[in-house]
């Protein structure tokens, strides 16, 4: 019998990323044995706070701080060995312990230093149409994967690895030059290319010492044994390569279907889909954002919510919650449970707005049209009285202010999915299960 006897739960972002995935995965991890990343790479920045300390993870799954968890970097991920090595050090967990808690798919693709060079060259050549990429080499690494020329983690165990690396690097250098960027003018992490490359190979050495696995076989066999698994998404549904605001998207499928291809599991193996959203919206980089605020309210949200990128430090664009966009993301992912974060940030406002529809071409619509580029949609807002209360003083659903309960009910009814967790602050402890 080969039947799946357990399901894999998926947690993913429903907006433009940074919804608080890292915090919530860390909170949920005690309920799971295995936590697995299925797409994206070091463009992600997942923040965890507990016991007065703060950590930002980029490639390592957010279950890593729990001693009984096993964490898997799935085949759908793209991995930069240099960033990965630094990230291991930043956890302050000794390498021997990390090696026991972390498994890496042989089929995950490598981000080469020259992919970063290409990312910079392509972004530079886009001029004012730039995507606002994190410049971590994500687009070029996934391009290489789809072009069937990529190097995978498993290749580092083979004798022709360095030769294949050199060939790709030479191609990338030529291509970058054709886009106007010379390798000598490229300073990744402020270093010369050769110095960065040396650190990259040190990272390869660390990976060689770790457990490389056929993660699709492992995940399926654990599922058959009844082991509980949580798949951790990166980015958000509105950055999905197919369904996001193309071309202002990332280069992977961030939606629930990405967990199937990024871990090698069947659609029938998916259990709960936890969709996480902020009680407002943020976006880093370029692209349409219908409810974006350009006024003092937007600045207040950014300051109160500390909305600066976890990976790049860039200020995040801020705006009110966009319900038509949220409903679209819920549909794409088959979300079964919602998780709302950062409602505490809205405590500064007398009145809180949510977008319930858009005015578009002289009509009112409640969905995202194909051409929702900058300025084409005018949000229609509904106002709610603010809660004006420090939510961190609430330790139970029953203590939450009535105004917040009304707001939450409105969202639940609009998208027709219950909110199962309300996060009231960045710390693991600031979490209310309903
Ligand atoms: P991720 O990429 O989805 O993991 O999110 P990020 O870590 O990039 O950004 C979320 C930010 O909000 C981080 O700084 C978190 O520490 C913080 N955060 C998460 N949940 C909450 C919350 O409920 N309230 C507040 N104030 N901050 C939160
Ligand atoms: P987490 O997992 C927010 C955005 C970039 C840019 C676009 C493409 O922390 O939520 P890329 O580097 O993929 O070429 O950038 O996507 N972006 C993110 N925004 N959170 C992220 O990840 C993001 N990863 C990429 O800002 O607009
Ligand atoms: Mg983030």
d(CA 346, CA 78): 35
109-207 has the same fold as 8-108+214-272: no
Distances, alpha carbon 354 to alpha carbons 192, 325, 380, 414, in Å: 47, 11, 8, 11
CATH homologous superfamily, domain 109-207: Adenylosuccinate Synthetase, subunit A, domain 2 (1.10.300.10)
The secondary structure of residue 112, as a DSSP letter, is P
Q: Which two tokens stand for residue 398?
A: 């029953």
Distance (angstroms) between ligand 1 centre and the Cα of 135 equals 22
- Cβ–ligand 2 distance for 282 under 6 Å, the answer no
Q: Which two tokens stand for residue 193?
A: 């290319």
What residue's CA is closest to ligand 1, atom 2?
18
Say which CATH architecture domain 277-433 belongs to.
Alpha-Beta Complex (3.90)
- Contact between residue 332 and residue 243 where contact means Cβ atoms under 8 Å apart: yes
The pLDDT score that the predictor gives to residue 44 is 97
Residues with CB under 5 A from ligand 3 (ion): 18, 45, 310
344 is catalytic: no
Q: Is the CB of 139 under 6 A from ligand 2?
A: yes
Where in the chain are the domains?
A: 8-108+214-272, 109-207, 277-433
- Residues 6 or more apart whose Cβ sits within 8 Å of residue 100: none
68 is annotated as an active-site residue:
no
How far from the centroid of its chain's Cα atoms is residue 30's Cα? Answer: 21
Whether the CA torsion 296, 301, 302, 304 is positive or negative: it is positive
Q: Is the CB of 131 under 6 A from ligand 2?
A: yes
pLDDT at 325: 98
Task: Name, in order, each residue with C-beta under 8 angstroms of 231's C-beta and a sequence gap of 6 or more.
Answer: 8, 9, 10, 11, 35, 36, 37, 38, 74, 259, 262, 263
Please name the residue whose Cα sits nearest to atom 21 of ligand 2.
235
β strands within 40-155, DSSP E: 46-50, 53-57, 70-73, 78-79, 102-105, 109-110
Residue 250 Cβ < 6 Å to ligand 2: yes
DSSP code at position 247: T
Q: What is the CATH number of domain 8-108+214-272?
A: 3.40.440.10
The bound ligand whose nearest atom lies closest to the alpha carbon of 133 is 2
What does the pLDDT profile of the chain (434 residues) look like in tens digits? 555 568 999 999 999 999 999 999 999 999 999 999 999 999 999 999 999 999 999 999 999 999 999 999 999 999 999 999 999 999 999 999 999 999 999 999 999 999 999 999 999 999 999 999 999 999 999 999 999 999 999 999 999 999 999 999 999 999 999 999 999 999 999 999 999 999 999 999 999 999 999 999 999 999 999 999 999 999 999 999 999 999 999 999 999 999 999 999 999 999 999 999 999 999 999 999 999 999 999 999 999 999 998 778 889 999 999 999 999 999 999 999 999 999 999 999 999 999 999 999 999 999 999 988 767 899 999 999 999 999 999 989 999 999 999 999 999 999 999 999 999 999 999 999 99
């Amino acid at each position: 019998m080969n039947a799946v006897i357990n399901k894999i739960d998926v947690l993913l972002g429903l907006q433009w990323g940074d919804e608080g995935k890292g915090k919530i995965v860390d909170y949920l991890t005690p309920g799971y044995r295995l936590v697995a990343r299925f797409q994206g790479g070091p463009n992600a920045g997942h923040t965890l706070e507990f016991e007065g300390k703060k950590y930002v993870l980029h490639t390592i799954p957010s279950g890593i701080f729990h001693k009984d968890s096993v964490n898997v970097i799935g085949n759908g991920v793209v991995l930069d060995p240099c960033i990965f090595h630094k990230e291991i050090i930043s956890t302050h967990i000794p390498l021997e312990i990390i090696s026991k808690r972390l498994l890496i798919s042989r089929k995950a693709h490598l981000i080469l230093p020259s992919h970063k060079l290409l990312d910079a060259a392509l972004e530079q050549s886009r001029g004012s149409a730039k995507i606002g990429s994190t410049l971590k080499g994500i687009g070029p690494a996934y391009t290489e994967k789809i072009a069937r020329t990529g190097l995978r983690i498993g290749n580092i165990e083979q004798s022709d690895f360095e030769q294949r690396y050199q060939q790709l690097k030479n191609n990338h250098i030529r291509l970058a030059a054709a886009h106007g960027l010379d390798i000598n003018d490229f300073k990744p992490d402020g270093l010369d290319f050769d110095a960065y490359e040396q650190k990259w190979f040190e990272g390869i050495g660390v990976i060689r010492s770790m457990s490389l696995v056929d993660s699709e076989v492992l995940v399926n066999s654990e599922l058959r044994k009844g082991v509980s698994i949580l798949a951790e998404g990166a980015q958000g549904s509105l950055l999905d390569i197919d369904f996001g605001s193309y071309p202002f998207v990332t280069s992977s499928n961030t939606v629930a279907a990405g967990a199937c291809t990024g871990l090698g599991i069947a659609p029938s193996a998916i259990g709960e889909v936890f969709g996480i959203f902020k009680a407002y919206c943020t976006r880093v980089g370029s692209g349409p954002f219908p409810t974006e605020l350009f006024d003092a309210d937007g600045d207040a949200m950014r300051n109160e919510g500390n909305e600066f990128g976890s990976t790049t430090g860039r200020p995040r664009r801020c705006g009110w919650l966009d319900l038509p966009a949220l409903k679209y993301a819920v549909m794409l992912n088959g979300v079964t449970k919602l998780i709302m974060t950062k409602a505490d940030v809205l405590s500064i406002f007398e009145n809180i707005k949510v977008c319930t529809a858009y005015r578009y071409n002289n009509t009112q619509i409640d969905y995202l049209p194909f051409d929702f580029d900058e300025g084409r949609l005018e949000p229609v807002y509904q106002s709610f009285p603010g809660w004006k209360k420090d939510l961190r003083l609430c330790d139970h659903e029953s203590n939450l202010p009535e105004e917040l309960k009304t707001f939450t009910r409105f969202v639940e009814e609009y998208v027709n999915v219950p909110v199962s967790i309300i996060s009231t602050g960045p710390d693991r402890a600031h979490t209310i299960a309903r």
